[in-house]
Amino acid sequence: MPQSLSPNDIAAVKAYLMSLQDQICHALEGFEPNLVFHEDAWDRPNGGGGRTRVIADGDVIEKGGVNFSHVMGDTLPPSATAERPELAGGRFEAMGVSLVIHPKNPMAPTSHANVRLFVVHKDGMDPVWWFGGGFDLTPYYGFEEDCISWHQTAFDALSPFGEDYYDRFKVWCDDYFYLKHRGEPRGIGGLFFDDFNELPFDQSFALMRSVGDAYIKAYEPILKKRQALPHTEQQRDFQLHRRGRYVEFNLVFDRGTHFGLQSGAGRTESILMSLPPEVRWSYGYEVEQGSEEAKLTDYYLQARNWLGR
């Protein structure tokens, strides 16, 4: 059973998350010497609020958002109780950092990460808590060394907590970020976990911190290598079509998007911040067999073992 938690525990998680948002924004601003993140601080009448930070129209980052939120609500939405019906009717608070970075260059991958704490308060029960999060990478043109380094950083983040966590959370990520109606993964995966409270609170929090800290370690070197590679208009067109898959996943399948919109606890502008600024759908769009574009889905977007383990 998960241990109980105190207001000090919740405050410690909140302080970490706000610091993580600062650290990631600072690192990403290093790619844009003439731009900084625009911050939009907001409050909710029912309690809580957040800091939405967006950077756009940069030389490297076409659009990026790094959000912190801490929100409360009187009733859990259906997306939060689907697998925990005993919590229906409970009050909740949720806090987390969620981010998506859409680079301009089609050779540079989109990245996504989030880490969060969820607490449910229900009369007659001790507070129920769990952590969640992860990070995943969505390339448009694949580079094997990027896939390996991304997954190695994920493995290193979890190895202090147990040998099986990387394997479990990698499979979870592959299964979760999957477009069922397309029959294809969204990207090359990474880590995903939710409803996590199998370790004591302090250790569970430490695991979440390790995942949060690992994101920028994994992404920054990849973006540095790919940000200025030459590309063609045809490759840009392919990137815009592939971004459509990203939009489809976020609107159709993403639990965080559904929770924010169903609960009314979030802020619509912040929830939909993850959508790319430009995207394209063309009826009957296909790529040439054997091309680099086809290699993306035929080779890279497969649930493979990138570390040879």
The reply, when asked if residue 149 is annotated as ligand binding, is: no
60-95: pLDDT as tens digits:
999 999 999 998 888 776 666 566 767 777 788 899
The reply, when asked if residue 114 is annotated as ligand binding, is: yes
Domains of the chain, first to last: 7-300 (3.40.1500.10)
The reply, when asked if residue 231 is annotated as ligand binding, is: no
Which residue in this structure is represented by tokens 């650290």? 23
Q: Would you state the pLDDT for residue 48? A: 85
Other beta carbons less than 10 A from residue 41's beta carbon: 10
User: Using CA atoms, how far apart are residues 18 and 39, in angstroms rounded to an integer?
Assistant: 13
Q: Would you state the pLDDT for residue 156? A: 98
Using DSSP's 3-state secondary structure scheme, residue 83 falls into coil
pLDDT at position 17 over 80 = yes
Active site residue 38: no
Please calculate the CA angle 31-34-39 and round it to the nearest 5 degrees.
85
Query: Helix 201-226 and helix 144-158: axis angle, to 10°?
Result: 160
Q: What is the pTM of this model?
A: 0.91
Nearest to 47 by CA among 144, 119, 155: 119
pLDDT at position 134 over 70 = yes
The reply, when asked if residue 121 is annotated as ligand binding, is: no
Question: Could you tell me what percent of the chain has a pLDDT over 70?
Answer: 91
Q: Would you state the pLDDT for residue 232? A: 97
Q: How far is CA 87 from the centre of its chain?
A: 25
How does residue 122 score in pLDDT terms, banded at 50, 70 and 90?
Answer: confident
Other beta carbons less than 10 A from residue 154's beta carbon: 29
Using DSSP's 3-state secondary structure scheme, residue 305 falls into coil
Q: Would you state the pLDDT for residue 92? A: 85
Q: Would you state the pLDDT for residue 1? A: 44
Of residues 154 and 78, more confidently modeled: 154
Q: Catalytic residue, from 26, 38, 112, 231: name it.
A: 112
User: Using CA atoms, how far apart are residues 211 and 192, in angstroms rounded to an integer?
Assistant: 10
248-262: pLDDT as tens digits:
888 887 766 766 666
